[in-house]
Amino acid sequence: MDIKVVDIKGKETAAKVTLADSIYGIEPNDHAIYLDVKQYLAAQRQGTHKSKERADIAGSTRKIKKQKGTGTARAGSIKSPVFRGGGRVFGPRPRNYDFKLNVKLKRLARKSALTYKAKENNIIVVNNMDLGEVKTKNFMNIMADMNIAYEKVLFVLPEDNKNAYLSARNIQGANVVTADSLNTYEILNANKVVIVEGAVAKIETILN
């Protein structure tokens, strides 16, 4: 698939770039996408939830009534879960929600997500993202010139660009990542994917 390269003013240049069919033109695998997105969201969970069980409750351990003759069930502690203010039974404990996925499956998921974006014509290739200074207004002007203002946009850079990252981090919907940190969730969550020309070859190297 050939796609025209634009500049940061949104104007087409004479250059074209070929997006490999092995990445942007495969048969999408929805289940692979589901698993990769599920893993990503699971890894974002803090897992610090904790409820108090009977061992964590502050209170006396004296036997609150005699064993027999009351006509009710026996009870040995006020901290029992059957009493109000007692501990919780099988409550949540701190845990890690992350799980493992094979590398090949994660690559397939990213290829499938990029294929969907390519089919919808939601991929833009820009020749560079060189910002001379850290300025949010300049980044917003770039998005406006590309007709992608007020949309969810994922910018994929070939390498770290501090100016671009700092300029975009306060813009709602704008997300800047490098080619080696590209993930399925962020691709699908964006309305448009803007790839810097130098990152195209990097993506192909990583996913192939």
d(CA 70, CA 202): 77
Tokens representing residue 165 in the block: 């990252």
What is the pLDDT confidence band of residue 11, given thresholds at 50, 70 and 90?
Answer: confident
Per CATH, the architecture of 2-45+99-207 is what?
A: 3-Layer(aba) Sandwich (3.40)
How far lies 164's CA from each of 1, 139, 161, 171, 182, in Å?
A: 28, 8, 5, 11, 16
At residue 129, the pLDDT reads 86
As annotated, the residues of the chain forming the CATH 3.40.1370.10 domain(s) are 2-45+99-207
Q: Where are the alpha helices (DSSP H) in 120-183?
A: 136-145, 162-168
Q: What is the DSSP string of 58-122?
A: -S--S--S-SSSSSS-----TTSTTSTT-PPTT------------HHHHHHHHHHHHHHHHHTT-
DSSP 170: T
Q: What local confidence, expressed as pLDDT, does residue 61 receive?
A: 84
Give buried/exposed letters for 170-185 (b at 16+ CB in 10 A, else e): ebebbbbbbbeebbbb
Rounded-to-integer distance, Cα 23 and Cα 71, Å: 73
Q: 145 is written with which tokens?
A: 């010139």
pLDDT one-digit tens code per residue, 152-205: 999 999 998 899 999 999 999 999 999 999 999 999 999 999 999 999 999 999
pTM confidence score: 0.83
* Composition of the chain by helix, strand, coil, percent to 5: 35, 15, 50
